[in-house]
Structure 1
Amino acid sequence: MSILKGVGVALVTPFNEDLSIDFESLTKLVEFNIDNGINYLVVLGTTAEAATLSDEEKKQVVKHIIKVNNKRLPLVLGIGGNNTLEVKKQIEETDLSAFDAVLSVSPYYNKPSQEGLYQHYKLLASTGKKIIMYNVPSRTGQNMEASTTLRLAKEFPNLCLIKEAAPNILQYFDILRKKPEGFSLVSGDDEYTLPVTLAGGDGVISVIGQGYPKEFSTMVQLAFDGKVKEAYEIHNKLVEITRLIFAEGNPCGIKAVLAEKGIIKNYLRLPLIPASDALYAKIKEEMATL
């Protein structure tokens, strides 16, 4: 699935002070990323605070991003949940004509077995849509093991990619080593992007990438070109800011970065809150060195 290669960014949803959606800032954010070399955009992921958007707001965000993007970059739409039948229904009933794939997180909270995870994605594959599996144990409470991912990848060609965010990098390497032809892995962890890309991954779906699109895209391209030393120079520069933006959870850190850059306003919807004054000061200080 080479169209989704390089740096995809999981866009935030900017809010106004009254917590309504700030569409003007959303336009600025999309343009900033397109202008600075991002390869594709991910709409309504976790970073978008999708859990706190109403169905109507989700429709408005999708419509707005499609319009602003104007077919310039490939688009991916987040549709996930822990009710398998409902997720399948949503995928089937959503107009996906503007999207290149659906990003679907593994079921959270329920903690299914490996066989349960297999059956979940098997049912989603039956929709016939291109689906990116998303394994993020820190959020779901359950790791999808490499063996389960590989089993799905071999059996269902439309499960074409995994966004892997397991805390153990060896799991990424196991998938890359044994994956079938035509199946891709991207990092779901910003800090693992470079080693995973060098090991044969197809890049990243990133959070920090939307704050530093030029730098992050350049780093990944250098990795594709085998320019390891130059790629690591950029990686090492961005490590500190990458760690800082996740220090109090996502997306409070990246919203602080984007607010400091004048792209969005620094508002989040409960239960998430903006970065603490101490963290904001550290982010500001680190940004000044970049």
Structure 2
Amino acid sequence: MQALIGTGVALVTPFKSDFSVDVETLKSIVHFSIENGIEYLVVMGTTAENATLSAEEKELVIATVVETNDGRLPLVLGVGGNNTMEVVAELQTRDLSAFDAILSVSPYYNKPTQEGIYQHFKVIAEASPIPVILYNVPGRTSSNMLPSTVLRLANDFTNIVGIKEAAGDLVQAMKIIQHKPKDFLVISGDDMIALPMVLAGGAGVISVIGQGFPKEFSEMIRLGLNKKVDAAFEIQYKIADSIDMIFEQGNPAGIKEVFKFLGIAENVVRLPLVSVDDSLSKRIYDFVKKF
């Protein structure tokens, strides 16, 4: 899975003022990412507001990204949930030929034990026709997939090829990196600690801010992978304030506000999410203007 080393971006779903999917703007965002150095694209992640998309809208978004990408970059598709058999059914019925891997979130709401998490991903690994990237994001799932569980899955299933680690805990990520199989990818799910994780031996990042500043952020990660530490941290500190801001009032409201000031997309999100307030909007505008 060398193609998934570097910077992937978790694509937003842009909406028109009537809350319908803005297909043309989605195409522009895909082109913008590709033309500015991103290594791969992630479709139907949390940032896509997939929880509020209908089945038909999800198909529209997926088809639009696949067509617009036109084979230029590797694609990863979010296929996860807290109903194991429903995830399996999707894997068995969906055409995954355009995708290099699936990104599957640890089950949320149910709060399974570590054994339950292991058994969930065991079934998914056995059902998936393409490689699986685990996704640990305890801030959203309410349960943390521990390094011992990750390493057990990584060693037991050859098609579980990596993890998007978004616990915000660099020490936890380092424990996985220290003991993982050689080719297993530890991918940061936190933009702020993506560079430190890469320098510790991680494979890159699946980023939100990276689609707002793709040229700079992807270059930072490449510099980190090549151990050019000073140059990488120069970019990190240039971008850092924007990372804090885009998550301050929820994702993807923050990154959509960046897109608004870049002239790429309007900031329209679906309930229960709302757009950022005027104070944060001004701060984001000031950052984008000076960047």
TM-score, length basis structure 2: 0.98
Equivalent in the alignment of 1:9: 9
Aligned twin of 2:151: 150
2:192 alignment counterpart: 191
Residue of structure 2 equivalent to 1:281: 282
- State the distance in 2 between where 1:31 and 1:250 align: 21
* Aligned residues of 2:194 and 2:205 also touching (Cα < 8 A): yes
Distance 1:67 1:204 in 2: 24
| Separation in 2, partners of 1:98, 1:144 | 29
| Residue of structure 2 equivalent to 1:23 | 23
Whether 2:128 is the aligned partner of 1:138: answer: no
Q: Distance in 1 between matches of 2:277 and 2:288?
A: 16
Name the CA distance, whole Å, in 2 between partners of 1:4 and 1:93.
Answer: 25
Query: Which amino acid counterpart does residue 99 of structure 2 have in structure 1?
Result: F
What residue number does 1:37 align with? 37
Counterpart of 1:88 in structure 2 is 88
How far residue 224 of structure 1 moved from its aligned partner, in angstroms, is 1.4
Secondary structure class of the residue paired with 2:201: coil
Give, in whole Å, the separation in 2 of the partners of 1:8 and 1:145. 23
1:279 Cα offset (Å): 0.8
Shift of residue 168 of structure 1? 1.7
- String of CA shifts for 1:63-122, please: whole Å, max 9, x gaps: 111111000000000011100111111112110000000011000011000000000000
2:67 and 2:11 map into 1 onto residues whose CA distance is 15
Deviation at 1:289, TM superposition (A): 2.5
**Deviation for aligned residue 1:265:** 1.1
AA aligned opposite 1:73: L
Which residue number in structure 2 is paired with residue 258 of structure 1? 259
Question: What residue is the counterpart of 1:68 in the other structure?
Answer: 68
Is residue 168–residue 193 contact of structure 2 (8 Å, CA) maintained in 1? Answer: no
Match of 1:107 in 2: 107
Aligned equivalents of 1:100 and 1:113: distance in 2?
29
Listed one character per residue, the Cα deviations across residues 226-253 of structure 1 (whole Å, up to 9, x for unaligned) are 1100000000111100000000010000
Shift of 1:182: 1.6
Partner Cα distance (1:135, 1:56) in 2:
27
Counterpart position of 1:162: 163
Superposition misfits of 4+ residues, deviation over 4 angstroms: none
Give, in angstroms, the shift of residue 286 of structure 1: 1.7
Rounded Cα–Cα distance in structure 1 between residues aligned with 2:64 and 2:250: 26
Q: Is the 8 A contact 2:82 2:107 kept in 1?
A: yes
Alignment partner of 1:191: what SS? coil
What amino acid is aligned across from residue 59 of structure 1 in structure 2? E
Task: Note the C-alpha offset of 1:259.
Answer: 1.0
> Which SS does the other structure have where 2:97 is aligned?
coil
Distance 2:227 2:104 in 1: 31
Deviates more, 1:128-137 or 1:115-124: 128-137
| Residue 220 of structure 1: how far off its partner (Å) | 0.7
- TM-superposed deviation, 1:152: 0.3
Q: Which residue of 1 aligns with 2:249?
A: 248
Q: Letter of the aligned partner of 1:248 in structure 2?
A: Q
Could you tell which deviates more after superposition, 205-214 or 269-278?
A: 269-278
Mapped contact 2:44–2:50 kept (Cα < 8 A): yes
Query: What amino acid sits opposite 2:8 in the alignment?
Result: G
The structural deviation recorded for 1:156 is 0.3
| Whole-angstrom CA distance in 2 between matches of 1:18 and 1:266 | 12
What one-letter code is carried by the residue in structure 1 that aligns with 2:185?
A: S
Measured against aligned partners, the alpha-carbon deviations of 1:205-226 in whole angstroms (never above 9, x if no partner) come to 0000000000001101111111
Residue 3 of structure 1: how far off its partner (Å): 1.0
Is 1:229 matched with 2:225?
no
- What is the aligned-residue identity percentage? 54
My pick for the range that moved more, 234-243 or 120-129, is 120-129
Q: What residue in structure 2 maps to residue 201 of structure 1?
A: 202
How far off is 1:288 after superposition? 2.2
